[in-house]
Structures are given as structure tokens and as C-alpha cells.
Structure 1
């Protein structure tokens, strides 16, 4: 549904204003960001990724100006203190500087938004193989959801589990966590695998009369002082720690669930929609924590920005089957686009030198010449695609410069046209890069097989 809306809005001829925490969505569609922060509105040209860089530059610039002015004020006040009481020329200077300070427009101290502090440790590493499954059927009695012929997961992999609502993502995570059994097939966890599970429903927090502080002290060995300090890292400060679980907002429940997850020390994280209810800053912190995590992760999410940044594999549940794509989200999209093409385009056309009607025996010389021609064709195709990728990368870089210039100039019509062209070229680059990778692999495999003859 998001991709449909994304495609629809990308061809929308009018203007639109959208409010969203979906960073991938913002990256694809917008060419201006309005940020509301501490009662002020800041405007940034470009998409979300550009906004992040410009926002950091703005904050650094504000801090520099503030610190420079504070240093000037400090030195001026010191000069005034030492010389104001005298009756000479320096006293006159001190009085003049005092008037200058009184008229000086003070630069306010920059306010830095508070962020959660999240670090997920691994107490003990798992074995090399984390998970192995064969002939799985996942679901409930009389209601199977999907099947999977074979799965293998190695230590350190980060898997994004995607699929429509109701396809079985949460059920699969519950099965991995041992709360449900597979309907059929085998599912084995590897040596020393210890699971830390973040539930979408957060039912493990369903103790409505307990307070936030109660949850931490009951599930850890922290003292009350240590627990309050720990909760402060997740933005529970002051009397917030005495809030009852039943009074928490969705964002507060998510932050508390992440706090408890960080204490588990498991080496296999199972995360079910971990960015739900989190603001953008908290999503960024979670993303960094997942990137730095030393164990293995399987996470179900609709957050495509998180998936693109973190996943090394995509496991898609669709049409009652789990399919594995060994790459990030853009790789998955490219593969899906290729699979949607006619079979002849997916596999390439048969070489004119090949005749499959009946086997032929060729002399060694003719066979060698035939293989040389085949290799030359593969090499030419690989070089052609490599040049096409390079040309597209240069075109995209030029378009990005023109987009930035148009954004700063306020030329919104040109920016819309450039944005559409940028998306088109990015899609061409994705498909061409995949074709180049396949051509390079075919050439390498052909060369290896030729050496054995």
C-alpha cells in the first residue's frame, strides 16, 4: 500500500504537505522538510537524508556561534571587572564595553532534543549456525499461514521479515521464540543461541498496576537508584518512573520494552515492529544500536529505511510461501522487478552458437574457438553494462547538484522535474547494476570452467 501511494504521489502534479515518520517515504517523495522544534519551524531543502546532514550542520553552527559569543562575553566581563574602578583611560574603555554588553543581542544556548541511549550487548556468542529449518509449515491448527522448504541462518546476519498484514510475520517470530510449534517440519536453533524477544503487542508489560520503576526492579538486580538512572537513559525522568503501565502512551511503552530488551543480553534478537510508536530520533538511535549489535537479528518491520540500512537478507512472506533474498531492501526490489519481467528477459536469450536439438562432438580446435567467441561475447556484455552503470552514476551525481541548486533557488517546478528524473535514473541504475553483477558472475564462471578444460 505504501509503495502504491508513493508511486501515486510521485506523479502528482499539484503540491502536497505530509506528516510522516516514514523516513524512506520522505526520502523518495519530498524536496523540502519543515521541522517543528521547541516552538520554532525550520525549513530545509531536499529530502530526509539531505535534511539530516543540514540539520547537523545547523546545530554545529549554532553551538559555534554561541560558544564564540560566550567567550567574548567572558573576556569582556573580565576586562570590565579589572578596570572599571580606575580613573584612567582603561576605566573609560571598561565603561564603553559595559554599555556594549548591555546592548549585545545574546545568542540563546542551543537546545538539543533529548534522545534515548540504547546499547544491546551480547553476554555470550552463539555458534556459527544460528538457525536451520526444513519443510516448515507455520500457522495455527486448521489455519496454516505459509510454508518454507529450507532456511539457514548464520551468526551475525540481520534478516528483515516482510509481508502483508496477516501473512504470518508475528506468528513466525512467536514460533522462533518457542511460544508456538511449527505445524509441520523441523526448526532447530544452533549452539548457545539465546533469544531476546521484542513483542509488537508488548504483552510482557501487561501489569497495569505496576509502575515503570516496578518493572525494572522486578526484572533486574538494580537498586532503586540504579533503576532510576537507567530509566533516565530512556527518557523516564523525575516522576515519570512512577507512572503506571496502564497510563503509558504507545511511545512510552515501546521505550520501556526496549529498555528491558537491552538488559537481556541475548545473541538472537527477535524484533516485531520495533519502530512502532517511536519518533524519528528514537528510530535513528534504535537503528544505530541494531547496526552495532554483535549478535544475529530477525526483525519484522514496515520501516523500509530501517530495512535498507540494517538488513543483510530479506525474508518475504507472500502467497503462502517464505522466500529468501540475500541482500538489502533495494536488492530485493530489483530482484522483484526482474522476476516480474517475461521469462525470456529474466534468463537472457540463448546464444546463436548453441544448438540444443542434439549433442554435437566438436574437434578440440573448433571447441576452443567456440569458447573464445562465447567468452568474448560475455566480456563485451559485461563491459557494456559496466560503462552503462558508470554513465548512470555520473548522471545521478549531476542531477543531485542541479536539485540542490534548484532547491536553494526556490525553483519548485524545476525541482519536481529533477526529482522525477532522479527517481527514473535511480531505478535504471538498480536494474542495470543487477544485470552487470549477473554478467560479471557469468563471465567469471565461464572463465573458471574454461580453465578446467
Structure 2
């Protein structure tokens, strides 16, 4: 159990928590929600002991082991992927190392024999190792790495060889192998594909400890966490239900708060009118003073500000022809890394023989396991890369807009947000450009921020603003929800459902796909399977878990 009572945290004049309470009970799985900057990550750091509080108390059961996964993985070097994960097991890993040293001495005839105290220490270490399931530690580490998409062929690879996204998976594996009593997870689904998310969901469902977690994946939160804690306006408010329950209950509570606020304001107006009317009359002096004192004692109800959300409106565009894309025997291969043998370059086939038609009005979810070629297919359709066989012909009057998960790399760091959007629509007025930016939460001076100073989520919003500022009738989206919080994802989802053109999307957000797609294209072992139904129909037909 963990309990925070009356905590206060402030950075200068900015108050993060003011007399806030938070309780984690045995067996709890809690979704931590709230607007960006409200203090969710600060709460994690406080619980993990990485940040102090200005006032209040923190208490937990003696010996509680806390594991904290954050987006800051720190430096990783000098170990293989498997060694890095094993090292995350903490005491168990260290005990295992000590046992190995003692066993090496026991088996080495040239080494100094173990003393009685050494043997006693060995017995105690072995008992502790057994108690913590240390002999299965390496098996658990290998299982977790595999579940997160890092197979046996990469266990021995130095961590320096992994990209930032794959290092995040290694850091996540470290925390899972630790199997702490209390697991804190800040956006664990970032950088994971659908297969890894499904595996992690299953692992966390079976996890015996307590869990407090943030995630931008609504399905992930709802399936795992039967309780919800909202961090907002300096307080932590508990809801005895999942994320869907929280949304309904929050609206009910806000309506009740508004009603209470309005009643109080009406009473204040009456009292103030009475005071103003009779303040000058000596016969009413005692009564007036009584009203003034009563007003001063009343705890005033305040309304928290409405959270900012994007407001996406697509620019109208002429309708396209009936056939938006026609694929016929489409194939793509990439050169294998390394020098060509005997003067001939070897190639890796991503897919071949893909045939299918994208019709006007389709909302196609493109699925397939990690590495199946989803992003490559989108690039081929958009002309970002040439096919090595077959064709992908874009139809008449098609105006294409392409968003990739790496689109933000095309932004120029020295430019402002305003300048990036202005370049796409040079004939637009200043007011029109600022209106577009305001819809993506860049209002006032925010529009003059340099690209180099933006977070990943802000860059994604800039790229969406750049793309949607130009009239298009065929949207090709590769992971458009990366770095967007739940509120922004749902605004984008609402806009896409109202989009009158054609859509093709890759996303690991299952909620997004379930509420958007009316067809599914699956790349399976280099072939294209078309499912003439929505995402749930596809899951039912294929028996997929996600």
C-alpha cells in the first residue's frame, strides 16, 4: 500500500499539487489521466523518490519495491540487450553475480577454499535467490524481450546498436523483469507496435503487484485499469471505474459543480445587493456586518478551466474519381546491407504480387505484423519510393496528403511554426494561417516558436496542420496519433470521421481503428488480404487478439 496525504509541490509561483491525496491499495491497477503539464510525471517521480515534496506525507509498506518506467531511458552502453535487462532485476541480479563468483571459487582447484563464513553466506544467498525466483531470471528476461519484439538473434547485440525506440523497449523490459511490488508506467505503449502492445497488455493483466499507469492508448487503459485518478488544477481526484466511466462521471461532476457555482454566485449577488443597499443605514449596521462576515467565511466554489483541445476542420476539395488507387502485382524489395557478393547485390523482398483497389470513400486500416511492409506500401502508393515490380496507379483528380511517423523530420529547425505552415499555403491570409494554427493549439505567441524547441507531440501537430491546410481528397496516414494525447486523438478521430474523401491509415491505436475503418487491408507474408468490413469484422474473421 502507498499513501500520499496533503502533498504540496510548487515550482516558484506555479503550483502543481496543493493539499493533494493519493492512495494505492493492494492489487490496484490505476489509470492516471489529466491534461499535459498537470503533474502526472511529477507524481510518478515523487512516488519513485526522485522528487521531493514541499509539504505533506508519503507512506508505504516496509520493503516495498517500486519500479518506474519513464520516457527518459538515460544512457545505455557497455552491455548486451539481455545483460541490460538482467541488470534491471536489482538485488536478484546482484545476488546471482555473487553466487556465480562463489561457485567459481568452489569449482577452481587453484582458488582459495571457501571459509565457514563464506559457506554460510553462500547458503543465505542461495536461499534469497530461490525466494526471488532467481534461477528463472534469465528465462524471464528472454521471454520479456521476445514479447516486446526483440528476438533471440538480438539478445547478444550491444545496446549501443539499438535506436532510441528500441532502447525504450529494453528499458521497459528491465522494469518488467524486476517484477516490483508497485509498478509505475509513464506511456509504456509509445514506440510499440500492436503485437507488442497486446503482449504487454496480457503481461500486465497477470501482474500480481500494484500498477499506476499513463497511456495515450484508450483501449489499453480501459482494458487494464478498473480505477482512474485524474491530475488537474493541483488536485488528484479518484474515480471508482475505468476510463470510460471516468469520462461520464467527470461530466456529471462538472455539471453538478457548475450548478453549485451558479447557485453560490446568485446568493453572493443577493447578499452584496443587500449590503450595498443598507450599508449607510445605522438601523441595519449589525445586520450588514453579519452578512459581510458570513460572506468572508464561505468557501467559494471555483470552476477549473476547460482543457484546450484541437479543432480540426478539413479544407474542402473536389471529389476524386471512383478508383483512387489501383494496385496490380505490386512488389518492393530493399537491398540487403553489406557489400555485394560477386558483383551482385542481394535483395530482401518486402512484399510481392499485391493487387487491390482503393475506392472513393474507403477508410482502409492497413494492418500486418511489425516489419510486414505497411509503411513501405504507403510510401510506394504516395510515390515516395519506386516499386520493384508491378504498379500502383493513383486515379483521376486525386489530391493526396501523406503523413508519416517521420514527417516531423522534414520540418526545418530554424523556422517558426507560422513559417512552416505559411510555406504550404503562400496565398493564404495571416488570419487564415493563424486560424489553422489555433485549431492545432498554437495560438498567440506560440505560433512564433522555433521548430527546434518543440516536443514530439507539438511537431506532430505542426505536421498535421501543414498537411490539412492543403486541399486533399485522399489522406495517407502512417501512425498519425504518435505523441498525441487521448483528447487530441479523439478530436482527430472526430475530424477524420467527418472527412469526405478517402483514407488509408496505419495505426497501433486499436480504438482509433475500431471507430474509423470500413475496410481492412492486411499484409500477410508478403501478400495482401482484403476484408470487406470494419476493424472488428477483421478481428472476428482472423481470430486476432487485438
TM-score by length of 1: 0.69
Could you tell me which runs of 5 or more consecutive residues in structure 1 were left unpaired when the two chains were aligned.
339-426, 431-453
Correspondence 1:54-203 to 2 at 5 A: 54-88=249-283, 93-140=287-334, 142-203=347-408
| 1:326 corresponding residue in structure 2 | 532
Report how far residue 105 of structure 1 moved: 0.7
Question: Following the alignment from structure 1 to structure 2, what is the Cα–Cα distance between the partners of residues 56 and 252?
Answer: 27
Distance 1:64 1:139, change over 3 A: farther
Report how far residue 14 of structure 1 moved: 4.0
Distance 1:203 1:253, change over 3 A: closer
| 2:451 corresponding residue in structure 1 | 245
Judge conservation of contact 1:217–1:223 (CA < 8 Å) in 2.
no
The one of 212, 218, 237 equivalent to 1:42 is: 237
Report how far residue 161 of structure 1 moved: 1.3
The one of 249, 268, 288 equivalent to 2:474 is: 268
| 2:166 corresponding residue in structure 1 | none
Report how far residue 310 of structure 1 moved: 0.8
Structure 1 residues 104-160: Cα deviation after superposition (integer angstroms, max 9, x where no partner): 110112222111221223311122332222222234463331135431222222111
| 2:165 corresponding residue in structure 1 | none
Secondary structure at 1:310's aligned position in 2? coil
Task: Pick which of 250-259 and 208-217 moved more.
Answer: 208-217
Report how far residue 250 of structure 1 moved: 0.3
Structure 1 residues 401-420: Cα deviation after superposition (integer angstroms, max 9, x where no partner): xxxxxxxxxxxxxxxxxxxx
Judge conservation of contact 1:212–1:256 (CA < 8 Å) in 2.
yes
Judge conservation of contact 2:518–2:533 (CA < 8 Å) in 1.
yes
Distance 1:206 1:82, change over 3 A: same
The one of 272, 286, 291 equivalent to 2:497 is: 291
Distance 1:71 1:258, change over 3 A: farther
Question: Following the alignment from structure 1 to structure 2, what is the Cα–Cα distance between the partners of residues 269 and 151?
Answer: 17
Distance 1:258 1:14, change over 3 A: same
| 1:351 corresponding residue in structure 2 | none
| 2:522 corresponding residue in structure 1 | 316
Report how far residue 212 of structure 1 moved: 1.1
Question: Following the alignment from structure 1 to structure 2, what is the Cα–Cα distance between the partners of residues 138 and 79?
Answer: 81
The one of 513, 517, 521 equivalent to 1:307 is: 513
What is the root-mean-square deviation of aligned Cα atoms in Å? 2.4
Question: Following the alignment from structure 1 to structure 2, what is the Cα–Cα distance between the partners of residues 226 and 127?
Answer: 29
| 2:436 corresponding residue in structure 1 | 230
Question: Following the alignment from structure 1 to structure 2, what is the Cα–Cα distance between the partners of residues 36 and 43?
Answer: 9
Could you tell me which runs of 5 or more consecutive residues in structure 2 were left unpaired when the two chains were aligned.
1-195, 336-346
Secondary structure at 1:43's aligned position in 2? strand
Secondary structure at 2:330's aligned position in 1? strand
Judge conservation of contact 1:148–1:323 (CA < 8 Å) in 2.
no
Question: Following the alignment from structure 1 to structure 2, what is the Cα–Cα distance between the partners of residues 222 and 60?
Answer: 40
Distance 1:330 1:28, change over 3 A: farther
Question: Following the alignment from structure 1 to structure 2, what is the Cα–Cα distance between the partners of residues 256 and 321?
Answer: 35
Greater helix share, structure number = 1
Judge conservation of contact 1:175–1:182 (CA < 8 Å) in 2.
yes
Question: Following the alignment from structure 2 to structure 1, what is the Cα–Cα distance between the partners of residues 323 and 261?
Answer: 53
Structure 1 residues 319-346: Cα deviation after superposition (integer angstroms, max 9, x where no partner): 22222222333222221229xxxxxxxx
Question: Following the alignment from structure 1 to structure 2, what is the Cα–Cα distance between the partners of residues 139 and 101?
Answer: 76
Question: Following the alignment from structure 2 to structure 1, what is the Cα–Cα distance between the partners of residues 332 and 527?
Answer: 10
Question: Following the alignment from structure 2 to structure 1, what is the Cα–Cα distance between the partners of residues 380 and 325?
Answer: 12
Report how far residue 199 of structure 1 moved: 2.0
Report how far residue 13 of structure 1 moved: 4.1
Judge conservation of contact 2:320–2:360 (CA < 8 Å) in 1.
yes
Report how far residue 54 of structure 1 moved: 1.7
TM-score by length of 2: 0.58
Judge conservation of contact 2:329–2:355 (CA < 8 Å) in 1.
yes
Between the two proteins, the alignment pairs up a number of residues equal to 339
| 1:219 corresponding residue in structure 2 | 424
Judge conservation of contact 2:400–2:474 (CA < 8 Å) in 1.
yes
Task: Pick which of 279-288 and 188-197 moved more.
Answer: 188-197
